[in-house]
Protein backbone atom coordinates (compact mmCIF):
# COMPACT_ATOMS: atom_id res chain seq x y z
CA UNK A 1 0.00 0.00 0.00
CA UNK A 2 1.31 3.45 -0.91
CA UNK A 3 2.03 5.81 1.94
CA UNK A 4 1.43 9.29 0.53
CA UNK A 5 2.07 10.92 3.89
CA UNK A 6 5.35 9.24 4.76
CA UNK A 7 7.54 11.70 6.70
CA UNK A 8 4.51 13.92 7.45
CA UNK A 9 3.77 14.85 11.06
CA UNK A 10 0.20 15.75 11.98
CA UNK A 11 -1.10 17.23 15.22
CA UNK A 12 -4.62 16.59 16.48
CA UNK A 13 -5.70 19.04 19.18
CA UNK A 14 -8.50 17.89 21.48
CA UNK A 15 -9.65 17.75 25.07
CA UNK A 16 -12.34 15.93 27.04
CA UNK A 17 -15.61 15.81 25.13
CA UNK A 18 -14.17 15.43 21.62
CA UNK A 19 -16.54 13.64 19.23
CA UNK A 20 -15.16 10.08 19.27
CA UNK A 21 -15.32 9.37 15.54
CA UNK A 22 -14.05 12.84 14.60
CA UNK A 23 -10.75 12.16 16.37
CA UNK A 24 -10.35 8.43 15.77
CA UNK A 25 -11.25 8.25 12.06
CA UNK A 26 -8.86 11.03 10.94
CA UNK A 27 -6.13 9.72 13.27
CA UNK A 28 -6.45 6.21 11.86
CA UNK A 29 -6.74 7.31 8.20
CA UNK A 30 -3.70 9.58 8.53
CA UNK A 31 -1.67 6.80 10.14
CA UNK A 32 -2.74 4.38 7.39
CA UNK A 33 -1.50 6.96 4.87
CA UNK A 34 1.91 6.90 6.56
CA UNK A 35 1.74 10.01 8.75
CA UNK A 36 3.08 10.30 12.27
CA UNK A 37 0.12 11.55 14.32
CA UNK A 38 0.32 13.14 17.78
CA UNK A 39 -2.48 14.28 20.08
CA UNK A 40 -2.11 17.52 22.04
CA UNK A 41 -4.45 18.42 24.88
CA UNK A 42 -4.91 20.72 27.83
CA UNK A 43 -3.94 17.99 30.29
CA UNK A 44 -1.51 15.09 30.31
CA UNK A 45 -2.51 11.45 30.39
CA UNK A 46 -5.79 10.54 28.73
CA UNK A 47 -8.81 12.45 27.42
CA UNK A 48 -12.34 11.10 27.15
CA UNK A 49 -14.42 11.21 24.00
CA UNK A 50 -18.13 11.76 23.50
CA UNK A 51 -19.80 9.02 21.50
CA UNK A 52 -23.16 10.15 20.07
CA UNK A 53 -25.16 10.62 23.31
CA UNK A 54 -22.83 9.53 26.12
CA UNK A 55 -19.20 9.46 27.17
CA UNK A 56 -17.02 7.30 24.95
CA UNK A 57 -13.49 5.93 24.99
CA UNK A 58 -10.30 7.54 26.18
CA UNK A 59 -7.25 8.27 24.05
CA UNK A 60 -3.68 8.89 25.11
CA UNK A 61 -2.32 12.43 25.03
CA UNK A 62 1.16 12.81 23.55
CA UNK A 63 1.88 16.38 24.60
CA UNK A 64 0.33 19.47 26.15
CA UNK A 65 -1.03 22.19 23.88
CA UNK A 66 1.38 24.64 25.51
CA UNK A 67 4.34 22.45 24.51
CA UNK A 68 3.23 22.03 20.88
CA UNK A 69 5.01 24.00 18.17
CA UNK A 70 3.44 24.41 14.73
CA UNK A 71 6.94 24.28 13.27
CA UNK A 72 7.20 20.62 14.28
CA UNK A 73 4.13 19.54 12.28
CA UNK A 74 2.81 19.64 8.73
CA UNK A 75 -0.89 20.05 9.58
CA UNK A 76 -3.47 20.42 12.33
CA UNK A 77 -6.74 18.52 12.80
CA UNK A 78 -9.49 19.84 15.08
CA UNK A 79 -12.20 17.31 16.01
CA UNK A 80 -15.61 18.61 16.94
CA UNK A 81 -18.31 17.66 19.37
CA UNK A 82 -19.94 20.44 21.36
CA UNK A 83 -17.80 20.19 24.50
CA UNK A 84 -14.30 19.90 23.02
CA UNK A 85 -14.11 23.07 20.89
CA UNK A 86 -16.06 25.06 23.46
CA UNK A 87 -13.40 24.27 26.08
CA UNK A 88 -10.47 24.77 23.70
CA UNK A 89 -11.63 28.16 22.44
CA UNK A 90 -11.26 29.54 25.97
CA UNK A 91 -7.55 28.63 26.05
CA UNK A 92 -5.24 31.26 24.57
CA UNK A 93 -2.45 28.72 23.98
CA UNK A 94 -4.81 26.61 21.87
CA UNK A 95 -5.95 29.61 19.82
CA UNK A 96 -2.36 30.81 19.39
CA UNK A 97 -1.34 27.37 18.12
CA UNK A 98 -4.15 27.40 15.52
CA UNK A 99 -3.05 30.87 14.40
CA UNK A 100 0.56 29.65 14.10
CA UNK A 101 -0.45 26.77 11.81
CA UNK A 102 -2.58 29.09 9.67
CA UNK A 103 0.12 31.78 9.48
CA UNK A 104 2.60 29.16 8.28
CA UNK A 105 0.19 28.18 5.48
CA UNK A 106 -0.19 24.67 6.87
CA UNK A 107 -3.50 22.78 6.55
CA UNK A 108 -5.91 23.39 9.43
CA UNK A 109 -8.84 20.97 9.29
CA UNK A 110 -11.93 21.49 11.50
CA UNK A 111 -15.09 19.37 11.60
CA UNK A 112 -18.52 19.71 13.22
CA UNK A 113 -18.35 22.36 15.99
CA UNK A 114 -14.57 22.85 15.62
CA UNK A 115 -14.98 25.81 13.23
CA UNK A 116 -15.76 27.70 16.47
CA UNK A 117 -11.99 27.48 17.03
CA UNK A 118 -11.31 28.99 13.62
CA UNK A 119 -13.72 31.82 14.46
CA UNK A 120 -11.99 32.43 17.80
CA UNK A 121 -8.61 32.46 16.04
CA UNK A 122 -9.87 35.11 13.61
CA UNK A 123 -9.56 32.82 10.59
CA UNK A 124 -13.17 32.74 9.33
CA UNK A 125 -13.58 36.19 7.79
CA UNK A 126 -13.54 36.06 4.01
CA UNK A 127 -13.27 32.25 3.87
CA UNK A 128 -15.64 29.68 2.41
CA UNK A 129 -16.45 27.25 5.24
CA UNK A 130 -18.93 24.73 6.52
CA UNK A 131 -19.71 23.32 9.96
CA UNK A 132 -22.39 21.58 11.94
CA UNK A 133 -25.82 23.06 11.17
CA UNK A 134 -26.20 24.60 14.64
CA UNK A 135 -23.03 26.71 14.22
CA UNK A 136 -23.53 27.82 10.62
CA UNK A 137 -24.98 31.16 11.80
CA UNK A 138 -21.89 31.65 13.99
CA UNK A 139 -19.67 30.94 10.98
CA UNK A 140 -21.62 33.41 8.83
CA UNK A 141 -21.58 36.05 11.58
CA UNK A 142 -17.78 35.69 11.71
CA UNK A 143 -17.62 36.78 8.09
CA UNK A 144 -17.33 33.45 6.29
CA UNK A 145 -19.40 32.30 3.34
CA UNK A 146 -21.22 29.20 4.61
CA UNK A 147 -21.37 26.35 2.11
CA UNK A 148 -23.52 23.29 2.84
CA UNK A 149 -21.15 20.59 1.59
CA UNK A 150 -19.40 17.49 2.92
CA UNK A 151 -16.07 19.27 2.80
CA UNK A 152 -15.00 22.80 1.92
CA UNK A 153 -11.38 23.67 1.18
CA UNK A 154 -10.42 27.34 1.06
CA UNK A 155 -6.67 27.77 0.90
CA UNK A 156 -5.23 25.94 3.87
CA UNK A 157 -8.55 25.80 5.78
CA UNK A 158 -10.52 22.53 5.50
CA UNK A 159 -13.98 22.24 7.10
CA UNK A 160 -16.68 19.57 7.28
CA UNK A 161 -20.12 19.32 8.86
CA UNK A 162 -20.47 16.07 10.83
CA UNK A 163 -19.33 12.44 11.28
CA UNK A 164 -21.15 11.42 8.07
CA UNK A 165 -18.66 13.65 6.21
CA UNK A 166 -15.55 11.98 7.65
CA UNK A 167 -14.56 10.13 4.42
CA UNK A 168 -14.53 13.39 2.42
CA UNK A 169 -12.89 15.27 5.33
CA UNK A 170 -10.07 12.73 5.61
CA UNK A 171 -9.57 12.62 1.83
CA UNK A 172 -9.23 16.43 1.77
CA UNK A 173 -6.67 16.38 4.61
CA UNK A 174 -4.61 13.69 2.90
CA UNK A 175 -4.76 15.56 -0.42
CA UNK A 176 -3.62 18.79 1.26
CA UNK A 177 -0.69 17.04 2.94
CA UNK A 178 0.44 14.74 0.16
CA UNK A 179 3.68 15.93 -1.41
CA UNK A 180 3.51 17.12 -4.98
CA UNK A 181 6.88 15.47 -5.66
CA UNK A 182 6.92 11.76 -4.74
CA UNK A 183 10.55 12.24 -3.60
CA UNK A 184 9.52 14.77 -0.92
**Does 110 reside within a domain?**
yes
Amino acid 183: pLDDT: 47
Amino acid 180: pLDDT: 65
What's the CA gap between 83 and 19, in Å, rounded? Answer: 9
Amino acid 22: pLDDT: 98
Amino acid 63: pLDDT: 98
CATH number, domain of 126, equals: 3.40.50.880
**Does 142 reside within a domain?**
yes
**Does 127 reside within a domain?**
yes
Please tell me whether the overall predicted TM-score, pTM, comes out greater than 0.75 for this model: yes
**Does 4 reside within a domain?**
no
Catalytic positions are: 113
What is the domain count for the chain? Answer: 1
State the residue range of the domain holding 41: 9-177
**Does 109 reside within a domain?**
yes
Closest Cα to residue 138, out of 156, 159, 124? Answer: 124
Residue 157 CB partners (closer than 8 Å, separation 6+): 102, 108, 110, 118, 123, 127, 129
**Does 89 reside within a domain?**
yes
**Does 1 reside within a domain?**
no
Q: Report residues of the chain scoring pLDDT below 70.
A: 1-2, 180-184
Amino acid sequence: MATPLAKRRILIMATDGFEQSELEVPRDRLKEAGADVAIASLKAGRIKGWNEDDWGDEVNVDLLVGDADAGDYDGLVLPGGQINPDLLRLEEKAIALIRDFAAAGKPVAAICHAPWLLIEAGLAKGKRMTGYKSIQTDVANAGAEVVDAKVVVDGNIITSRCPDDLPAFCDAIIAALAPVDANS
